[in-house]
Structure formats: structure tokens, C-alpha cells
Amino acid sequence: MALMEQAFVLTDRDFSRVRRLIYDYAGIKLSEQKRNMVYNRLVRRLRSQGGVDFSQYLDLVQAERSDEREAFVNALTTNLTSFFREAHHFDLLASWAGERAKSVSAPLRVWSSGCSTGEEPWSIAMVLREAGCRAEILATDIDSEVLRTAHAGIYPAERTESMPQARVRRHFLRGVGANEGLLSVHPELRTMVRFGQLNLQAPSWSAAGRFDAIFCRNVVIYFEREAQLRLADRFAAVLAPGGLLLVGHSESFPASHAAFRSCGRTAYERRLT
């Protein structure tokens, strides 16, 4: 074992405490199998605090008005994403929005409820711009660090390599000089998206009004089943009749809910009644 690794020991008691705190703060239920992940992510925070041990670090997290609590949640949040991930959802959104634009003049309201570093809401904006559909997109996440990246809307060019180049040229501006190799989302896309921090398991949501479509993909996989069902209730309450709820490839929490019917692969429509 490397010397640096020997400096920190994650005891059973500390690991249990981590699991309890991330559940209390973010509703995330970590399994026993996530111990190595917890160690690897939190040991960076221990070093940032001068090499405290896990017990001392968790005391800092729990301290009243702690500045470390947000960093703790950020460290344990999973943020794997990419542009047009699970492409079938964007194909469905494009056809659905195109039909809607023919008969409804009001902007389409879409919520990316776990937006991570922004690839999902910017992908939504690209699809709706291509469909000629006016839209207001709300992008939220519990992790303040990834929200800063999402809001900036600047990405290495290689992040778009799987996209058709015509789409890249239409929706991004290429950096020059010191910014060569970077892409910035088009100003028109920026007018469509607003960002905010939000915990889906908070008692109330700052996201007001109704939405025509909600993306909640690969967000609730660590939530308990009861929490997932409560979330389905809350989504049903803010989703317009006929609206879309799109979930991750391994998630099915709306499937048994009376307010939803399946309308595609991991896609659900809000029933009219």
C-alpha cells in the first residue's frame, strides 16, 4: 500500500457515518460496495483540510453553518454525462416538440432536474432550437461545482466528437487563440436555459409552475424505493397533462404510477386525467 494511502483509514464507524450523512443531506443511499468510491472521493477533502482524519472531517461537515457540507455533497455526487446521452430520448423530444409547435404558441417548459455539467440541458436546447420550438429550460442540480461548469457552457472540443459536425457548427462557437480547442454554446441557446441549485428531496422546490417535459435520468438510482415513489408523485403534480417524463436506462419508478403511461423506452406520458 502506498504511503499516502496509509495516512488515512476509513473505519466501519466512519463509513456508516458517511452513509447516514449523505442520506440526510441528499437522499442518496450508498451501498456497502461504495466504500472504495467514498474513500477515493473524500480523501481529497481530508487533504484540503490539512490532513485531518475521517472522523475529524465528518465533524467539520456536521458543524453548524459548515462551509464543508456542500463540498461533502459535491464530492459524493455522481456526475457522469455526455451530449445526447441516451439518444432515443432526444429523438422522441424532437418529434413531440415539432408536433406541438404546430398548434401551441407558448414556449415549451422543460426541466432538466439533474443537469450535472450541462450536457443534458444544452442538448435539449439544441433539439428544440432545431425543431423551431420556443422553449424555457430549467436546469438544476444539487452539486454547486458542476452547476458552475454547466452555466459557463464551455467544453473541450473532443466532448462533441460523437455529434454530427453540422450540429456542432450550428450550436457552438469555436475558441481562438488562448481558447483554441474549446467550444462555447451559441448565445441563442444561452437565452433558453437558466440554472439553479436544487435538491430533489427537499421539502419544497423553487421550480415554480408546470412543465411540459421533465428529464430525470440516472438521478434516483441511489434513492430508496419509497423516495422514488414520492418523487413520481411530485413530478406528476408539476407535469402538464400529456407531458413527458424521461428517466434513465436502469430506472422504472414511474412505471407503476397511476398518473403515467409508457410512451417509449424509459419514457412516460402524464395521463390526461
Of residues 17, 35, 41, 100, which has the active-site annotation?
A: 41
Q: Which three cell numbers stand for residue 63?
A: 458543524
* Closest residue by Cα to residue 150 from 173, 127, 120, 124: 120
Question: Catalytic annotation on 141?
Answer: yes
User: Active-site residue among 14, 19, 85, 141?
Assistant: 141
Assess whether 234 carries a catalytic annotation: no
Catalytic residues: 41, 141
